Amino acid sequence: MRLIGLVVFCGASLLTHAELAWSGELVTAEEVLASQTALPMLAVDETPVNPQGPTIAVVDAEALAQPVRNPFSIEIWMQAQRDAELNFASFKAFYGAFKVDITERLLKEASKTVTGLKLSNLHIPSGRHKILLRVSDTKGRTAEKEIAFKVE
């Protein structure tokens, strides 16, 4: 498998999707390095987060408060407010400081549940990681949740 449409800055070189073969990990070692050495960037887009939008949470978030070891699991709970439904087609996942869109990779590893997503048997390079999750409801209200964790 290969990544499609991905450009990653790694040190002084520019890597394209043709140079980055996907190893089956949710994020690559190159993406980790690029993210950890990056300057802060602006948000991916200007979609405002609405406090009355959906709720996104990590089931058993305390498990991610401690360093995890590969392979590990994450369960994501998402729920719309009573006056709307979740627009699952709007779901996006972005990795690290460069906000690399890992939605397709994440969804390939996920099982959709009644209440969200369950990701099992994840392999991510050692280090500190941040994944930004975004979803909207049928009224166009958007919610975001950042998941930060460390892999040993």
Collapsed DSSP state (helix, strand, coil) of residue 84: coil
How far, in Å, CA of 122 to CA of 108, rounded?
A: 11
**In this model, does residue 18 exceed pLDDT 50?**
no
Tens-place pLDDT, residues 110-135: 999 989 999 999 888 999 999 999 99
Tell me the residue type at 3. L
Angstrom distances, CA of residue 43 to CA of 21, 26, 98? 27, 21, 9
Domain edges within the chain? 41-151
Tens-place pLDDT, residues 64-104: 889 999 999 999 999 999 999 999 999 999 999 889 999 99
The pTM of this model reads 0.70
Fold of the 41-151 domain: Immunoglobulin-like (2.60.40)
**In this model, does residue 151 exceed pLDDT 50?**
yes
How far, in Å, CA of 69 to CA of 149, rounded?
A: 11
Which residue carries 């779901």 as its tokens? 91
Contact 13, 37 (CB under 8 A): no
Instruction: Report residue 14 as tokens.
Output: 């520019």
What pLDDT score does 37 carry? 66
Which class for 86: exposed (0-12), middle (13-18), buried (19 or more C-beta within 10 A)? buried
